[in-house]
């Protein structure tokens, strides 16, 4: 289930100082108007002939986001929970064509540019600077993002750095990450290192003081509706910190993700329906098998994101 407390900031784009090129500009040909979600969890056991369902939990489809546009510019995103209750609004401000600030009721992200490229993102809880994302480029591509908590304010863990993409929930390893991020003392640093294949992130290594994992991606050939948004809350998922950057920076949609850490390796599969070159729905599926000498069990989790344009 979505847990807003563990959604750690992950992206918002750009410009307070200098002019920018494509970084910080979000102007898709098809503009999202609403995003809806549904989820399913199922526990099964094998009786020797077929899989028997022991427990199943469903969250029916609900509208989780409403996007508000002013001409070509995204003006705000309103968020709702599965009961239809309003949760929060992200407001977008611009310097020319480039995003300069994302703000909400208790804080904001400021986007800083140098020589037309995004150089850092500063997170404020109230008027207190609580975290900084430092952006490193290799040529025209972002090669590393370093996230540093500089003030242990609880709000720094509560509001995602814009992240609402394709329901990238990671059910198995999230406890490791939440432990690592739950209560930073003083200055704490987390790093995202990227490898590219054309306009898509092919590999990402995510490192915290207590944990490290590698994410390897393949893609479809259709257009990602979040490409260039840099608002990770918009790519909403249960714990998007690991995959949100890769989605926001990649031109196409993730088809498969392999996650490898020091303890295990597992796969996330994505299927889509399309309208022209854009997805109208995206479903992420995670399956885990567990067996002993007597019985075999299967856990399946799927999350579907539906787009209206």
Q: In tens digits, what is the pLDDT along the chain, a chain of 309 residues?
A: 333 222 223 322 222 222 234 565 677 788 999 999 999 999 999 999 999 999 999 999 999 999 999 998 899 999 998 999 998 899 999 988 888 998 999 889 899 988 888 899 898 988 989 888 899 999 888 899 888 888 655 544 444 444 322 222 333 333 333 333 433 344 578 888 999 999 899 999 988 888 888 999 999 999 988 887 765 555 554 334 445 666 778 889 999 989 898 888 988 889 999 999 999 999 989 999 998 878 899 999 998 999 999
DSSP for residue 224:
P
85-to-56, 58, 62, 63, 220 alpha-carbon distances in Å:
25, 19, 11, 10, 34
* Cross-strand pairs, 88: 79
- Give the separation between CA 91 and CA 105, rounded to whole angstroms: 9
**Residues 4-308, CATH architecture:** Beta Barrel (2.40)
Are the C-beta atoms of 234 and 226 separated by less than 8 Å?
yes
- Give the separation between CA 159 and CA 147, rounded to whole angstroms: 14
Q: For the chain, which residues make up each domain, given as ranges?
A: 4-308
Token output for 81 = 């929970």
- Whole-prediction pTM value? 0.78
- Give the separation between CA 206 and CA 2, rounded to whole angstroms: 21
């Amino acid at each position: 289930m979505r847990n807003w407390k563990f959604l750690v900031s992950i992206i918002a784009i750009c410009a307070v100082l200098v002019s920018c090129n494509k970084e910080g500009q979000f102007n898709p040909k098809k503009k999202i108007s609403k995003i809806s979600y549904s989820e399913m969890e199922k526990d099964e056991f094998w009786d020797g002939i077929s899989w028997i369902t022991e427990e199943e939990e469903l969250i029916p489809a609900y509208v989780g986001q409403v996007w508000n546009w002013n001409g070509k510019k995204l003006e705000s995103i309103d968020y709702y929970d599965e009961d239809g209750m309003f949760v929060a609004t992200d407001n977008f401000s611009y310097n020319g064509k480039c995003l300069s600030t994302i703000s909400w009721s208790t804080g904001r992200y400021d986007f800083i540019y140098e020589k037309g490229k995004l150089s850092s993102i500063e997170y404020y809880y109230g008027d207190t600077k609580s975290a900084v994302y430092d952006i490193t480029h290799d040529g025209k591509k972002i090669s590393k993002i370093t996230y540093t908590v500089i003030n242990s304010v609880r709000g720094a863990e509560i509001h995602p750095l814009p992240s609402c993409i394709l329901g990238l929930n990671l059910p198995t390893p999230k406890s490791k990450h939440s432990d690592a991020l739950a209560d930073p003392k003083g200055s704490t640093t987390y790093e995202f290192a990227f490898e590219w294949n054309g306009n898509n992130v092919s590999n990402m290594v995510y490192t915290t003081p207590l944990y490290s994992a590698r994410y390897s991606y393949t893609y479809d050939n259709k257009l990602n509706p979040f490409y260039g948004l840099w608002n990770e809350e918009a790519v909403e998922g249960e714990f998007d910190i690991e995959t949100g950057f890769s989605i926001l920076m990649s031109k196409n949609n993730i088809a498969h993700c392999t996650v490898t850490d020091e303890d295990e390796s597992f796969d996330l599969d994505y299927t889509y329906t399309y309208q022209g070159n854009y997805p109208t729905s995206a479903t992420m599926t995670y399956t885990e098998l567990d067996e002993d000498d007597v019985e075999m069990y299967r856990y399946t989790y799927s999350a579907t994101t539906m787009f209206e344009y």
